[in-house]
Chains A and B, each alone.
Chain A
Amino acid sequence: MKTNSRRQGPTLWGNYLPIAIFCVVVALISYFIGDVRYTQRVLLLILIWAAASSCFNIISGYGGQTVFGFMMFIGAGAYTSVLLFKFLGISPWLGIVIGAIIACAIALFIGLPTLRLRGAFFAMTTMAFPLIAYALLCNVGLEEVTIPYAGPNPGSLHFADTRHYVLLALVLLSVILVIIRWIETSRFGFSLKALKQNETAAEGIGIDTYKTKLMAFMLSAFLGGIIGTIYAFSILLVITVHSAFGLFIIVRILAFACIGGLSTLWGPVVGAAILVPIGEYLNSKFGGSYPGLQDIIYGVALIVAIIYMPEGIWGKVLKALRRPAEKLAGSVKPIRAEASDVPNIDKQERAEPFKFEQIEPKTREKRNGSILKIEGVSKSFGGVMALKNLDIAVPRGKVLGIIGPNGSGKTTLFNVIHGYLRPEKGRIFFEGEGTTHLKPHTLCRLGIGRTFQVPQIFHNMTVVENIMVGAFANDGNVAKARAVSEKVAMRMGLGSRIHDYAVGLNAWETKMVEFGRAVATQPKLLLVDEPMAGLNPEETHRIGELIKAIANSGVTVIVIEHVVQSLVKIADVMVGLDQGQKVAEGTPGEVTSNPHMIEAYLGPKWRERYAKT
């Protein structure tokens, strides 16, 4: 396997050098333009809007939580520092910090309840808050506040030369870009990307989605608060509720981010650099006679961007740059179907034969007894009892097979064990500790892994990135996680697909990514939900081998499966469920010959066929 250095995560220089160059170039441009007020003002507007749009990009681009009320934070920062300066004489330099802290606190207050909501609900709810601020400020007579001006004085953020404002905004933008670059390459960024694509899966592999979203939200708000102060002091002479909390702010921020490219580092900067000059030109030319013309441009830009290039200009550039490299790394050769007992003969081949090596489990202690105990668990949906007073003890280091007709509560049982659902009655003990009310991400960190009935992978991440998100459950170090994940990907037979996006994988490869991701979290207990559904006989055999190999390395595995003849080959013990109740328990032979199971699920013909094989 050749390693492609560009993909190994760029170096420090590669990460931050472009930002430094950008900073120096813009500073020089501004310096040589000279103190031409109008041109410098347009430059300043570009930088401020680019900065605001970049902050929005953290929570809404990378995190996927579109905050329509983002102007709340800009307005909070602006109003705080202006009011402090006007009425208490506090320097705006201190006001920047206080304003940012207040914006951050407001984000905590808004985020705590609303971040539980999803998609459009979240977006619309956040919009209510700037409207509340708008109305309250009007009510106390602060509809507009004049910023006191007593001549140029750097201490009160009043510069004679507009270039100083440009420099200030430029430094701020560069800091924000550095922060975003850091996020992109850190565990935090991976968590954000993952939860944006699939919150259920992200939660299941150890990401505290709620906390991660809240952190990103507060970070965005903090930086937005800083921008608010600089925006107020450099652009506005009179701050009004409309200029600080108006809907036009979020429309512009969205337009810049969408035209340039959401969830890309340079997208918002590119968007602002293109749209702001057009808007300002139109405003200076026609603003007197047609006041709405400038904003029409932003509305149109937003529509055009979403319809014709949802990835944005910078996203398109990145795609064009990436394409040749991708062809090189991505082999179309399918994984060869070889059983695990065939030795690895051709190491030269890009497509590794499928062979699962042992993984290192978290603990190798060979304690006896059960790893998981379920006591009297009941769960109902409306009037339907999905689980009825269920008791199961899962022996350590064994493969437990669960069978039962559709609707017998198998997947519900997994959801209850893994914290996605709360049982109404009963208790669950994992490793002797009560885990009944823990959340999936906590349970993952304790050592419960999971694969889903319908594979839940992160489509817009590469194979190795998918697995890395799992590896982060143990270690936040990116380089280490990458190394572990590459190893896991090889073991899963995904060596040739390692840098391909998961969206293009076939059903088998998708399953392997999900298994790899679960294995990378180093679970003690792995919950596997119908792994054989939709696979051909050869693949069914291979997945059985894989599960056995995982179990041999010391991991306890619970498998739900309808392909009973394959399940009995790998299961050490089995449980039969019917209508939420345990009706059979014991060795595979005992359970499959249980009269109730034959009656309710297997059918009388099963016995004859099974007896033959």
Chain B
Amino acid sequence: MESLLQIIVSGVLVGMSYAVLAAGLALIFGVMKIVNFAHASFAVLAMYIPAFWFLQWWGVNPFISSVIALPLFFVLGYLTQRVLIERVMGKPESEMSTLIITMGLSFLIDNLILTAWTGAPRIINEPYTTGTWLVGSILINHAQTYSFFISIVIIGGLFLFLNKTMIGKGIKAAADNPGSCAYMGINLRFVYGIAFALGIATTAAGGCLMATYRSFNPFYEESIVVILFACVVLGGMTSIMGSLIGGLIIGMIQQVSALLFTISIQNVAIFAIFALFLYIRPQGILGKKERMV
């Protein structure tokens, strides 16, 4: 019973960290209809700068860094969209070319990190990294708990931004029907830029939070990119709420499989379920089946 409770608690904590990373991916897919393969690489970049190096250089708390990361990566995301992705959008086969271009970008970021800061695994070693509370017989990690609450604030903020501001409404309209938006005087390039920038900023904040309790290296992206994609697919691809649910499910699967198998193959269960799921229900849990022809 207690182990079950422990699984649920740690599943929710881990799942929330995936959810905040995946939320941006879902936003970008929902609005621009492209899969951003470099998404996880931006998160890993944020683990190094600001989270790890700001702490090393100036002693900035990584939780504060997660807030600093928002404007930094917003700008980076906006530039990425305007300089790279915009050039291939709207052309024939743009779905594949954006996927390939972001894969190239992802590989570029990983190897730039490797070249700049070597491949040594890094870890943030602060009291909260390993500190735990004991509630009943359940262990709760400090860093994960702080991250959990900050993640909720970030996702909530994103939600409010999309629903309450004019730009947010423009983004939602563009997701629904880009053609009519252009006729209505909405600057699609700007809206796409903002959507991409928001997605990257969210994931960067998520990356900073994850860095507080996990060790990472320049190629950490390879092990989370498919997990993030799985979260988004489980959630029906386009909705942020969906990816939140997807993230929590993935977190739960990971914790359960950690109980059943050894740690080294716990991701196998996720990938297997993900592949199976795509076969049975490609439109996701919340997604609707599209009418054909």
Which residues of A does B touch, CB under 8 Å?
Answer: 64, 66, 68, 113-114, 116-117, 119-121, 123-125, 127-129, 131-132, 135-136, 138-139, 200, 246-248, 250-251, 254-255, 258, 290-293, 295-296, 298-303, 306-307, 310, 381, 411, 415, 420-421, 452, 459
Contacts and interface: CB of A to CB of B under 8 A. Distances in A.
Given A128-B226, A132-B272, A300 B108 contact: yes
27 contacts: A68-B103, A113-B279, A114-B278, A119-B95, A120-B99, A124-B226, A127-B225, A127-B226, A128-B271, A132-B272, A135-B268, A251-B107, A254-B104, A258-B100, A292-B114, A292-B115, A293-B111, A295-B114, A296-B108, A299-B104, A300-B108, A303-B105, A310-B91, A411-B293, A415-B293, A421-B292, A452-B293
B100 A125 contact: no
Contact of A121 (B113, B264, B278): B278
Given A123-B99, A124-B35, 6 more contacts: A66-B99, A131-B223, A246-B222, A302-B107, A310-B97, A411-B293
B26 to A, nearest CB: 13
Given A248-B107, A295-B107, A306-B101, A117 B282 contact: yes
Contacts, number: 147
A302 B100 contact: yes
Contacts of B118: 291
A299 B226 contact: no
Nearest to A110: B275
A138 B105 contact: no
Given A119-B95, A128-B271, A251-B103, A306 B88 contact: yes
A117 B275 CA distance: 11
Contacts of A300: 104, 108
A503 to B, nearest CB: 9
B66 to A, nearest CB: 26
Contacts of A248: 107
Closest 9 CB pairs of A and B: A302-B104, A292-B111, A299-B108, A292-B114, A113-B279, A299-B107, A128-B271, A292-B115, A120-B35
Interface string B126-150: 0000000000000000000000000
A200 B293 contact: yes
A117 B104 CA distance: 23
Contacts of B87: 307
Contacts of A307: 84, 87-88, 101
A591 B274 CA distance: 53
Contacts of B106: 299
Interface footprint category on B: 35 or more
A124 to B, nearest CB: 5
Given A120-B35, A132-B272, A303 B108 contact: yes
Nearest to B225: A127
Contact of A298 (B107, B223, B262): B107
Contacts of A124: 35, 226, 229
Interface in B221-258: 222-223, 225-226, 229-230, 233
A225 to B, nearest CB: 21
Contacts of A290: 115
A456 to B, nearest CB: 9
Contact of A120 (B88, B95, B101, B111): B95
Contact of B111 (A121, A255, A296, A381): A296
B268 A136 contact: yes
B119 interface: yes
Contacts of B97: 306, 310
B29 to A, nearest CB: 9
A543 to B, nearest CB: 21
B265 interface: yes
Contact of A295 (B34, B111, B292): B111
Nearest to B114: A292
Contacts of B104: 251, 254-255, 298-303, 306
A227 B31 CA distance: 40
B96 interface: yes
A64 B222 CA distance: 24
Interface of A: prevailing SS: helix
B150 to A, nearest CB: 28
Nearest to A138: B264
Nearest to A255: B104
B279 A116 contact: yes
Contacts of A452: 293
B153 interface: no
Contacts of A291: 114-115, 118-119
B96 A66 contact: yes
A120 B102 CA distance: 12
Contacts of B113: 292
Nearest to B108: A299
Nearest to A124: B229
Contacts of A119: 95-96, 99
Contacts of A136: 265, 268
B65 interface: no
Contacts of B100: 66, 254, 258, 302, 306
Nearest to B85: A307
Given A139-B265, A295-B111, A114 B275 contact: yes
A474 to B, nearest CB: 25
A66 B267 CA distance: 23
Most buried by A among B95, B107, B113, B271: B107
B164 interface: no
Contacts of A306: 88, 97, 100-101, 104
A379 B112 CA distance: 55
A295 B109 CA distance: 10
Contacts of A113: 275-276, 278-279
Contact of B112 (A64, A250, A296, A302): A296
Contacts of B291: 381
A244 B226 CA distance: 19
B30 interface: no
A420 B293 contact: yes
Interface in B5-22: none
Contacts of B233: 121
A377 B272 CA distance: 39
A295 B106 CA distance: 11
A132 B91 CA distance: 34
Interface in B158-208: none
Contacts of B262: 139
Most buried by A among B95, B100, B119, B226: B100
B183 to A, nearest CB: 21
Contacts of A247: 107, 219, 222
B50 interface: no
Contacts of B226: 124, 127-128, 131
Contacts of A128: 226, 230, 271-272, 274-275
B275 A292 contact: no
B184 to A, nearest CB: 25
Contact of B282 (A66, A121, A123, A255): A121
B218 to A, nearest CB: 7
Contacts of A64: 93, 96
Contacts of B92: 459
A291 B116 CA distance: 9
B230 to A, nearest CB: 8
A250 B7 CA distance: 36
Contact of A129 (B88, B230, B275): B275
Most buried by A among B233, B262, B293: B293
